[in-house]
Amino acid sequence: MNMKTIRHLAKTLSIEPGKLSKTELIKKIQVAEGNFDCYGSAINGECDQLDCVWRDDCLSESSTAAAEAL
């Protein structure tokens, strides 16, 4: 999902996007929706939140972060 869409979604939930990073903003959206703020925290591609709208981006973000940590 692109940042323009994420910012729009945040505003509909009364979250001011400001200069938050994509990860920070998505985590705030997750909390506002009553979900875990776990975006980007999957380890080894493991995630049990199968119905999460952020799942594909999250798994990609998690694998990128893991690769950068090496």
Residue 56: which of 12, 26, 28, 31 has the closest Cα?
26
Q: Which pLDDT does position 43 carry in this prediction?
A: 85
Domain locations along the chain: 3-69
Q: Which pLDDT does position 66 carry in this prediction?
A: 67
Q: For residues 12 and 3, what is the distance between their CA atoms, to the nearest angstrom?
A: 14
Q: Which pLDDT does position 9 carry in this prediction?
A: 96
Per residue in 37-65, pLDDT tens?
A: 999 888 888 888 888 999 999 998 887 77
